[in-house]
Structure 1
């Protein structure tokens, strides 16, 4: 029986791209009208939280490797710069889709169901004071 060389990049999936594809599947759940509205909102929130962590950990690590001068391609055949560029393109598209899900679907459906999402400028003095106090207490 002939041995297969495992050096072929076609045999490997880029870990970071795979992670983005997983997050895209979560976003598909946020966009699926057959899911309950508040569940869809949760799915969208999960994608946002996941993307934050992705940049804080994985993309930061990739950038650090680039800054440290690593040039070797990974098992998938991508150099770090190629991987960075691929992730940038895919992430920009993903964020556009997140905004589309929110702006073109969820926000209006929430409003139709009596849930209003207000901007800071739409709050009265009492509402702004609450947000300020909450932010200082929870985020600082």
Structure 2
């Protein structure tokens, strides 16, 4: 009798742990590096000293984040350049640093893009270094 009461008490105590996770979805790792290839760096917007990075999530939604911000995956945006961003993936994760480069699609092929700042403060996008899009 005593062992069955203990068994029932143990089962009831563990019910909240079972309810916390959907059994039909795989458990997510702490690092979530399996998603890294599904994210896309879309560029950066700089206004004065303020910098915002455009990142596309695996769900195809866009995030605007600032350097130092933490993404929903737990990765931290540590560095920003015109054509790439650097992220820290977390303690104990390998690789510990992620680098995403700016890519564009042209006729269903990914090609590198470059943002060129001209002296008149207008931005032009070029698909090849030294060649501006739009003939200018």
TM-score (normalised: structure 1) = 0.26
Indicate the structure with greater strand content: 2
- Identify the structure with bigger relative contact order (alpha carbons < 8 Å, sequence gap 6+): 1
Structure of larger gyration radius: 2
TM-score (normalised: structure 2) = 0.26
